[in-house]
Amino acid sequence: MDRHPYRPAHLHFIVSAPGYETAVTHLFVKGDPHLGSDVVFGVKDSLIVDFARNDSEAEARTLGVTAPFFTASYDFVLAPAGTGARPQVISAGDAVHR
């Protein structure tokens, strides 16, 4: 088949909340050279995110990590459990206030 065995860099997530369906997914690192040729064909544009490098020693200390570290932002959306309803999009900022 003349294909390589590599996956693009990615992180796996299981996201759950009472009253909602559990989501199992992954996010891919923007710019990875294997995004266009994932061996298991799992890459979707909506799952590619930019991971920003942060060199701040002070911010690293507040998070309990060492610098440099990387951050990314993504809004996960959960569907209400058992209703068959379409998921409602709630931004991460709004979710903090609910």
- pLDDT digit string, tens, across residues 54-63: 999 999 999 9
- Binning pLDDT at 50, 70 and 90, where does residue 90 land? low
Structure tokens at 25: 């997914």
* CA contacts within 13 A on the Cβ side of 19: 0
Its domain, for residue 90, covers 10-96
Total count of domains within the chain: 1
Average pLDDT over residues 60-75: 96
- Residue 14: pLDDT above 70? yes
Q: Is residue 59 part of a domain?
A: yes
Q: CATH number of the domain at 71, please.
A: 2.60.130.10
Q: Nearest Cα to 31, choosing from 54, 47, 53, 9? A: 9
CA 62 to CA 14: how far, in whole Å?
Answer: 25
Q: Is residue 1 part of a domain?
A: no
Q: In what order do the strands lie in the sheet with 10-15?
A: 10-15, 23-29, 48-49
